[in-house]
Amino acid sequence: MTSKPSQLEVRCIDFFSNAAYDEHLQYLLEEIGKRNDYKNIILAPELYLSGFDYENMEKASAYSEYAIELLKQKVNEAIVVLTLIRKFDDRFINQAIVIHRHKIVHVQEKSKLFRLGNEDRYFVSGDTNRIKPFEIDGVRYGIMICFELRFKEVWKKLESSDIIMVPAKWGKIRGQHFEILSKALAVMNQCFVIATSSGDDDIMNSSMIYSPNGTLCELAVDLKEVTKMRRYIVME
Non-local (6+) Cβ contacts of 110 within 8 A are: 83, 93, 94, 95, 96, 119, 123, 125, 126, 145, 146, 147, 148
**pLDDT tens digit sequence for 170-201:** 999 999 999 999 999 999 999 999 999 999 88
Q: What pLDDT was estimated at residue 1?
A: 52
C-alpha–C-alpha distance, residues 62 and 150, integer Å: 30
- What's the pLDDT tens digit per position in 10-29? 999 988 887 779 999 999 99
pTM: 0.95
CA dihedral 225, 194, 150, 158 (to 10 degrees): -50
Model pLDDT, residue 33? 94
Mean pLDDT of the chain: 94
Strand partners, 8: 221
Q: Report phi then psi at 30, rounded to 5.
A: -65, -40
Residue type, 228: K
pLDDT digits (tens, 9 = 90+) for 123-162: 999 999 999 999 999 999 999 999 999 999 999 999 999 9
Query: What's the confidence (pLDDT) of residue 175?
Result: 94
Q: Is the dihedral of CA 56, 54, 21, 36 positive or negative?
A: negative
Residues 6 and 87: their CA atoms lie apart, in Å, by: 38
DSSP codes, 94-149: EEEEEEETTEEEEEEE--S--GGGTHHHH-PPPPGGG---EEETTEEEEE--GGGG
For the domain covering 7-232, report its CATH number: 3.60.110.10
